[in-house]
Each structure stands twice: as structure tokens, then as C-alpha cells.
Structure 1
């Protein structure tokens, strides 16, 4: 079985490099995903994760289809799986569908609350999903972590406590939410170790390519912006080309610092833009 945990074990001192993509919302765009995947595969990432497809389908066909395509390209895939709006029976159907399509790794998530979709009551937290998947399959389970704390957490201490619950339930690898201040991530790493969590942790990096995008992400995940980052947004917000270049340079500097500090892995949120992945991997390829 090609588990993500084993990928980390076999990388020696080199950091794991991975990408995240999402299923396009329109079917006609989904047909074009092959070209995107081919470009990403040429960069030889250690794995590619696929977010949970919109629409609420129990088969979650778009995510499964893309994750299967990735595996056929010789790259390991991780399918996101959310639980807040599903029953145990529905989640079990999803698990069997993943297994039937050769998917071996998942990222177990609670999922965002949707005011238009009442949650079901079988899974209140991601740790409930992780325990259920562990009891009902041999899938390898990754979990999300939040360097600045989950937006709904009472405190960072309670957030670390909940993260430990995910690990105790069966998670074997962690992927962090995006962040723009490496010092925040390093403090998070220290707190994780103090809590007795000894798992590989991917640092989530999202390059800024436009101001609207970053404002939307900050609203969703609550990431803070360092002063030097705010200066970039202020200076280049009306110049798309300059903002793209400056944002990419900022992300490259983040990654170089993380690698120099011995981070386990870098998880790049590509936003389905191969150009972003290409520029970042090209900039750091000589560091290995």
C-alpha cells in the first residue's frame, strides 16, 4: 500500500513536495483537467491531493475521478473526504467507492458549515470521521492542522488538544492550513511536539496571485498577514503582473526558509494553475 506516511519515511532528509487541486465546478472544465494533471505530473511531486467536490454527491465522482487519473500517471493521490453533512451509511458508501477506484489515501475533514444545508449528526468533528474510517477500511488517513488555530477553536491550546484527538483516532500525517508568517508555523511545530504528536507535517503554502483571492482565503481560514506582506498587496494591488511576481517571490522565500529549517514537507495550493506549481518547484529544485 502506497501510504503518505511511507512516502515521508522513504524521503530521507529531503522534504516531501506535494500539490493540491480542486475539481472544476463545470463538467466542460473537468474535461480539461487531464492537461493540468499532465503538467503537474511532469514536476514529479510526491503526491497530489484533490479537494472534496462540490454538490454533495455520495459518490463524489469528480474527486474520485481526478484522484484515479493522478494514480494512473504514477503519482500518489489523496482524496479529501468531508463528513459534517453525511450519515455513517453515506460515508461508508464513499469509502467503498474510493477503494473500488484504487484510492488508498484520504484527507479526513469535518467540512465547512453551510447555512443552506443542515448538518447531520453522525459526525460532529473530523476525529469522528477518522475513527470511523479506521474502523471500516484500510485507507491511510491524513488530517488537517491549523498553525494559527482553527477559526472556531476556543484557543490555540484547545485546538492542539483536538489535533491530538485526530492523531489518537488514527491520522498518520498532517497538512497545514495556509500561512504567511513562518514564525507562526515554527511555534506551532513546537506546540505539536509538546503535545506528544510525532507525525510528519506538511507546511501549506498558497502564493498570492490576486488581491481578491487572498482576501477570500483570509476570510475563510483566518490567516494573518505580516506587515511586509500587506505592503506587497498595497503596492501592487492594481498591477496584476507585478502582484503575481511579488506574490510568487514571497512564497519562494517562505519555502526556502522552511526547507532550511528542516520542514517535513511543502504542500502547494496550486489553485489548478500549473504555472504556479512550475515556478515554485523550479525555484527550489536546486535545494535538494
Structure 2
């Protein structure tokens, strides 16, 4: 099933998970698959699977997990597809493997820049990758977008112009990068609408698990930390349980506001944490 069809019954709730690292211990694998049991039982519209970590097994670990989720739980999967990790020769083979696994959706991304800071290969922009995937098969293509502006874009206007190119190339729905200030998201939606972009946009929400993790992600993604959020992290920094509970409350508050404004959907960055994800979903289940 193409997950863009889920937006006929808005709002859409979906999750992101990370594949286990190659060489993970049996205990770690057991924890991961137990977490998947919980996440799948929450009945997401789909689960996106990040690009697997660890050398040449990157493609394979993501594909294996997508295949497992579909077969074991009957939940649609969306593998992350970072263009900088593929060549014109390897991309068609991987797309064929996805098709044979019954995967109909991909999240097309440029991918992280190499240490040199210079992209390489034929897919130096996400729009290049979208064009190639669109030509290769009948995939539903999801793209990323940035309410706080892409860290490499000089302005929101330029960022939205590039986003429009990506949608024109064949992207049918969007997921935002994490953000902690809903007003930034609403301002972004206004700019997107003014540009004539009319595809569903899910708000990407990352609940706090540790202060270090959020600060690192915010720095990497160019995401601003509101004063209220930063104050919360400082106040509970020395109490992991309290910080987790405060983070859940903050994420729920964000989501309640977004749902009341008619957001197309919520994409939860679960960090493979079923406890936090289950608490958030329980808090909003009557609102969907």
C-alpha cells in the first residue's frame, strides 16, 4: 500500500526506528524486537526504517528490517534512501530488491555530507534522487522538509524553492525534521502554501530522552531550542527519569496543539524507545 493514501483519513501517526547495529549482542537484539512488538501494537500507519549503520551491510539491514516488519506485523514500511550512498548502478538493484520485498514507499534523502563537506555521485540533491526513483518504478516517494530551515539554506525562501523542485520531481508527501517550536512549523506551512506546494506534511516530533541527545540532534539539524524547552532540560538534567517525564509532557503538548490546528499527521522519532512512544500515543489516542 502507498502510505500517501492514509491521509484520506487524517491525521496519520507513524514511527521511525533504527535497525540494530551489525554485531549487536543477543540481548540487544531481543530488546530491539521486543520494542518493535510494542510499537507495532500501537497501530501506526507505517514505520520508517533509517539507513542501517555499519559498512557494506547498510542496504541489507534496512531491507531485512522492512521485510520483517511487513511480514511479522502487517505494517507498511518506509526505508530511508540516502542518495549520497548510491550510484547510478547500485540504486536500480536496491530498488528492485525493495520491490521484490513488497516495499512500495521510500523516504528519499540526500544523505549526510562526507567529511570533506562536498557531495559526490549522481544524486547530490534529494531532487536528483527523486527523479531517478520516479523513473525506476512505481514508488510512493516521501521527502524531508525543515520548519527551522535547512542548515545549508541561506533563507526560508530558498529552502522552500528547493522543496518545490523536490515535489515537482515526484515527491507525494513530506515529513519534517524535528522541531520544538510549533510557531516555526506554522510559519513554514504558510510559506509552503504560498509557494503552491500542496502535498501532505507530517510534523516530525522527537520526545526528549536525554539532554545530550537532543542538543546533539538540534545542532546537527540547525534546530532552535525555545527558552521554555532549554529551561526544562537544564532543570531536570541531573534526573534522567524526571527529564524523560518532562520530555513526554512537552511532546504531548506539542502534538495536542498540532492536532487542534488540523495537522496532516505526526511522525514520531521513537529512538527505539517503546515506553516513551507508548505513553505519548496513550495521551493522544482520543484526539485522533
TM-score range, shorter chain: over 0.9
Gaps of 5+ in 1: none
**8 Å Cα contact 2:252/2:280 also seen in 1:** yes
**Aligned equivalent of 2:179:** 179
**Aligned equivalent of 2:170:** 170
Secondary structure of 2:208's partner?
A: coil
Correspondence 1:60 to 2:59:
yes
Give the TM-score taking structure 1 as reference length.
0.95
- d(CA) in 2 for partners of 1:123, 1:117: 15
**Aligned equivalent of 1:104:** 104
**Aligned equivalent of 1:201:** 201
- d(CA) in 2 for partners of 1:251, 1:88: 40
- d(CA) in 2 for partners of 1:84, 1:154: 22
Counterpart mapping for 1:29-178 below 5 A: 31-32=29-30, 33-57=32-56, 60-72=59-71, 73-115=73-115, 119-178=119-178
- d(CA) in 2 for partners of 1:39, 1:153: 38
**Aligned equivalent of 1:7:** 6
Structure 1 position 204, deviation (Å): 0.3
Gaps of 5+ in 2: none
- More displaced stretch, 19-28 vs 154-163: 19-28
**Aligned equivalent of 2:233:** 233
- d(CA) in 2 for partners of 1:22, 1:251: 20
**8 Å Cα contact 1:87/1:120 also seen in 2:** no
Secondary structure of 2:180's partner?
A: coil
- More displaced stretch, 157-166 vs 91-100: 91-100
Secondary structure of 1:54's partner?
A: coil
Structure 1 position 58, deviation (Å): 7.4
**8 Å Cα contact 2:22/2:53 also seen in 1:** no
- d(CA) in 2 for partners of 1:118, 1:90: 20
- d(CA) in 1 for partners of 2:193, 2:55: 36
**Aligned equivalent of 1:26:** 22
Taking only aligned residues, the RMSD between alpha carbons, in angstroms, comes to: 1.6
